[in-house]
Chain A
Amino acid sequence: MSSEIAIRTEDLRRVFRARKREAKKQKREVVALDGISFAVPRGELFGVLGPNGAGKTTTIKILATLLTPTSGRAWVAGVDVAADPKGVREHIGMVSGGETSGYGLLTVEENLWMFSQFYGMETRTARARIRELLAVVGLSDRSRTKIYHLSTGMRQKMNFVRGFLTEPEILFLDEPTLGLDVQTARTLRGFVSNWLLEHPDRTILLTTHAMHEADELCARVAIIDRGRILACDAPANLKRGLKREAIVRLRIGGVDDVRAAVEPLPGVSRFAQRAHDDHLEADVILASDAALTSLLAAVEAGGGALVSLEKREPTLEDVFLEVVGHGFEEPNGGGAA
């Protein structure tokens, strides 16, 4: 395998089997990954985008040597994850969203120092880098605070510092901004972008279900659903593929479901809807503008009152709708993550 490829998977599959006594109550087998293949060149920030249960975390767990694949193969830094997990660990780091790692009775600085020791870092170097990184994420004034006093956002900033402290060649970020407020999430996204600019030879694999995050950060994105990769390209290219089509967002009052009226219409490529307190929001991809008239007529015939109509540029959410066939927040019956 070329050394320019940091991560590669080949027909990776993972099936979770229920234990005997659990098998009576639930499905015996859940296919979390169903033969995914992709390659990430060194220096790239690669995103894996998909809803809950799509297989994102399973992918990261396999690549980070926490889980073995049922079949297929994966290499990280040229090392086979199943055959030589120890070899892989020399090259990687990991940060997960909602992490509660560390020991509450230790301070932020002590916890970070402890984790640095597992990578064999010299104490003086570790302490200098901890101070530097805490300043970057705006946590310097909390370095002597015991971590059980930290808010969720502060704790996640600390987790980021832990992940980047050892400057790993390949870093796995698993839903790293999950549950964070807008400002903290923005700070951390900025931190990731800057870090990669300063370390162009490092590679990041990011899983997220935040479309804007993938759009903002990733050089390429793989859209994954039910354990399969459905599309993989640069966000701009993925969106460009939808330029020929018309994408409209309707806000409709008076009804809470227009699927039956809209979905069968000729010219409607994809449809997704979300109910809000006082209106229904529908995203529709039309084969052409010409289909708009019949769409509006169908809404009206179904008892809906049009509140607003917005024709807009395609987003990754539209790409997801196009390739997956249902909206991101709609139930999909996907596998386990």
Chain B
Amino acid sequence: MTGRSKWTTFWRTVRGRAYPRVIGAQREKSWVFFEIFLPLLQVTAYVFIYRAIQAPPEFLGFVVLGGAMSAYWLNVLWSMASQLYWEKETGNLELYVVAPTSRMAILLGMALGGMFQTTLRAAAIITIGALLFRVSMTVTNIPVLLGVFLTTLVALYGLGMMLSSLFLLFGREAWHFSNLLQEPVSLVSGFYFPVRALGQLVAAAASVLPITLGLDAMRQLLFPSMMTSLRFLSAEVELAILVGASVLFLFLAHRALSYFEKLARREGRLTVRGQ
């Protein structure tokens, strides 16, 4: 293939792999229950706790926003990082490897499809949550808010792409790794409270995960008065770190994918099922 047609193949691969998530996933209507109703129940629990202790109304907004963003984290963990495990089990992985396309394009397609799919869920959670609990938000700077949101997604899915390459080599072991990450991350990233409450050290350590800084920055931009005293870093600094994390994770994803693919070919683990 020529250089030009390599790019054509790259983008067609992205489109092709995003398709099952954009179209296919909407065909399974059970997602409305599992991915909107259930997260809303968890949000509701925190809302009642904050109401019971007479926390300021902005805390309800923190919870609704955290509930919406947690959908992205779960998508990255279960439909991005561990996806190659499922692809291996169904036999798709070997077809991806044999195809004359970039593995990064396949991961990018998965990521973009996943972002679209999850954005529908997150939008539903935030809309229903805001209406149900009468959350009022003050959008101070729409371009910066959009910038923070999109950069958080790029960094987060970049992390997911990097983790997914681990699944080329490991089977169920990496599955346990995802299980292990799910709950602790929702705690240390401050899905339902400002991360600063955990102390500067924990907040700094949790900043390795893009969603920690993304959530903190978005809360600052949506609830400015309340977050003045509760913020971890300024939104601008957090945005700059997120930009750096995006580049770093995408670079590491590319390198890790290439390295683990070679290793998996050598060890014969690309097509071994039921590991």
B-contacting residues of A (Cβ < 8 Å)? 14, 16, 61, 64-68, 85-86, 89-90, 92-94, 96, 99-103, 105-106, 110, 113-121, 146, 162
Contact = CB atoms under 8 A, between A and B. Distances in A.
B92 A101 contact: yes
A121 B12 contact: yes
Contacts of B12: 117-118, 120-121
Given A61-B271, A90-B100, A120-B1, A66 B94 contact: yes
Given A114-B16, A120-B101, A103 B265 contact: no
Residue among A99, A105, A114 with the most chain B CB within 10 A?
A: A114
A96 B98 CA distance: 12
Contacts of A65: 97-98, 265
Given A115-B16, A118-B96, A68 B91 contact: no
Nearest to B92: A101
B98 A92 contact: yes
A293 B69 CA distance: 84
Nearest to A105: B24
Contact of A85 (B91, B94, B265): B265
Interface in B3-44: 5, 8-9, 12-13, 15-17, 19-20, 23-25, 27-28
Nearest to B16: A117
B270 interface: yes
A19 B172 CA distance: 15
B1 A100 contact: no
A66 B97 contact: yes
A12 to B, nearest CB: 14
B271 A66 contact: yes
Nearest to B97: A66
Given A118-B9, A118-B100, A121-B12, 12 more contacts: A16-B268, A66-B97, A66-B270, A67-B271, A68-B265, A93-B98, A94-B95, A118-B12, A120-B5, A120-B101, A146-B27, A162-B95
Contact of A110 (B5, B23, B95, B99): B23
Nearest to B263: A68
B27 A67 contact: no
B256 to A, nearest CB: 17
Contact of B270 (A67, A86, A93, A105): A67
Contacts of A93: 98
B266 interface: yes
Overall SS of chain B's interface: helix
B90 interface: yes
- What is the size category of the interface that chain B forms with chain A? 20 to 34
A315 B141 CA distance: 80
Residue among B1, B94, B266 with the most chain A CB within 10 A?
A: B94
A113 B28 CA distance: 20
A67 B96 CA distance: 14
Contacts of B94: 64, 66, 94, 96
Nearest to A57: B271
Given A114-B17, A119-B9, A120-B8, A67 B99 contact: no
Contacts of B9: 118-120
Contact of B98 (A89, A103, A105, A146): A89
B203 interface: no
B25 to A, nearest CB: 7
A100 B101 contact: no
B103 to A, nearest CB: 10
A99 B91 contact: yes
A113 B12 CA distance: 10
Contact of B20 (A16, A89, A103, A118): A103
Contact of A118 (B27, B91, B101, B266): B101
List the 6 shortest-distance A-B pairs measured between CB atoms, nearest first: A117-B16, A120-B9, A105-B24, A118-B99, A89-B100, A117-B12
B253 interface: no
Nearest to B271: A66
Nearest to A120: B9
Contacts of B27: 105, 146
A102 B271 CA distance: 15
B245 interface: no
B107 interface: no
Given A66-B270, A96-B91, A118-B13, A106 B96 contact: no
